[in-house]
Amino acid sequence: PISGTVARGADALEDAQRVKSLMMNAKEESELTMCTDVDRNDKSRICIPGSVKVIGRRQIEMYSRLIHTVDHVEGYLRDEFDALDAFLCHTWAVTVTGAPKTWAIQFVEDQERSPRCWYGGAVGHVGFDGSLNTGLTLRTVRIKN
C-alpha cells in the first residue's frame, strides 16, 4: 500500500526535510495504516492462513518527482488461487474506495452518475507463465485522438 505523497525537493537537503515532514505526519501514518489493514484483510481471503505479513513498514520510496511512504505486505496464495485471483481480490484499491471497502464500493456505485473509467483501474502485463504485473491508474492521463 501507498499513502503519503509529497513532491521532491530542489536538492537532497530539501528532500530530507520533506521526508522528515512526511514521516512526522500523523494523518499520513493513519491513512497508510488503514490501507495496510485493508490490504492484509484482502490477502487473507486467498492466502495460506498465517502467511500474510507486513514485511516493510512506512518505507520511503523516492521517484523522479515524488516521495511516497509505503508498506510492503506479502502472503502465499493457497493452491486453488492464481495471479488473476490475487488481482481481483485487490480490485478496487482502498486508496480509491475508502473503507470499509465493501460498503464504500456499493456507495460509489449507487451515487456516481458515470463510471470512473480509467481512474482507479489498472494497467499491466499478463505473462504466458501465469505471472501478472499491474499498476494502479491514479495520476494518469489518457489521450484520445
Q: What is the pLDDT of residue 114?
A: 83
Average pLDDT, the chain: 91
The pLDDT tens digits of the residues spanning 32-85 come to: 999 999 999 999 999 999 999 999 999 999 999 999 999 999 999 999 999 889
108 is written with which cell numbers?
Answer: 460509489
- Domain positions in the chain: 2-136
Sorted by sequence, the CB contacts under 8 Å of residue 99 that are 6+ apart come out as: 34, 37, 38
Tell me which residue of 108, 109, 48 sits closest to 74, measured CA to CA. 48
| Mean pLDDT, rounded, for 83-108 | 84
- 36 with 73: CB under 8 angstroms? yes
Sorted by sequence, the CB contacts under 8 Å of residue 112 that are 6+ apart come out as: none
pTM of the model: 0.82
